[in-house]
Every structure is written in C-alpha cells, then in structure tokens.
Structure 1
C-alpha cells in the first residue's frame, strides 16, 4: 500500500492515522518532493475522473490565474496543470498493489474498501 500526498495536509494526516490505527503500514510518497508522473495521473483520472483528482477547493487552484483555470477543460489539460502544481492534486490517493483505490479521506469508504 502506498499513500500519495504531502505531509502537512490535514486530510493526509487523518488518513495516515486511520490506516495506522487499523493495522496498515503504508509507504508514504510525498509528491511535492518525489514528483508524480503523467502516467500515474492518467491512471488516477481514469479511476476517479479528472474532476475528482483536481482539487478546485484548495489554495493552489485559487492561486492560479483565471486564464489558467479556464484552460482546464478535460483530462489532458488537467494533468498538464497538475504536473506543474502537484499541490492541486486531491489527496491522499491510496494505491493497493499498484492500483488506485481511494482518493481523499472518508472513513466509511476506507472501512468498506480496506477491511
């Protein structure tokens, strides 16, 4: 299991705490430091939808110019923005055996999918 995110994100902290409390010992991948590939982002978008991978509620999205925001119209344009602004990726993304299974943190979803 790998958890993708950034360490100072409260949602990532909640997810990591839940996982630890439930006996999981995931590897943590800080995508601000270690990066992320377009291939991985495409897989996540295929799984969750690009609109769910792109965090439009976060500070990073709001700091983009209106022009940059308006250019995001599909998966390809979203990935282009996400590669340049990894903090705009909704987090955490949890992969099990190399397959993305969860995005963000919802305790009920974690219970249902991981227990």
Structure 2
C-alpha cells in the first residue's frame, strides 16, 4: 500500500504543489482501487477455501462412502450414480465460476490502470 501511494505521489497535493492543499480526487481514487484489490483477494481466498472443502467432501464420498453404500445395498446404485453425475456437474460449474472471476478481476485491473 505504501509503495502504491508513493508511486502515485499520494495523489492529493500534486495539483497545487502545496501538500495538504490539493484535490482529494486522485488520492481517493487510488484508495478505492486498493480497497477493490483487497476485496478481490478476499473473494478469491474465500472462494478457494470453499472449493477446496467441497472437493474434499466429494472426494471422500466418491472414493469411500459411495463404494461402501453400493456394497451394502445394491438398490442405492441409481441414487449414487446420480450423485456422482452431480459431482461432475458441480466441477464444471466451479470451473466456469473461476474463469468468470479471473476475467472480472483482469478487466477491473486493466480498467484501474487506465485511470
């Protein structure tokens, strides 16, 4: 954050040449971009944690629980098959979400760089 402020000359004060007497717009814009960067990082960290937990949950079901249930009761096979298909669908949805989040962040990073 300090490097970003230093690189921009803190924004405020530059328009008049006197520190503390400039327009706050550039500094506020910089602070907003830094806040958005933090929000993107937080969203990414939250999403990654949820996805890891979901992947672990599904792995345990697919590799252990579903096998044991099939062995214990063959009548559960159609239900377990459907759950496995849903797991595959969810992987596709998570991949799509991840791609959209990356595009959103890239777009906003490029947009902020143009300011």
Question: Same fold by TM-score, threshold 0.5 exceeded?
Answer: no
Structure with higher strand content: 1
State the TM bucket, normalised to the shorter chain. Answer: under 0.3
* TM-score, reference length from structure 1: 0.20
From the CA coordinates, give the structure whose radius of gyration is larger.
2
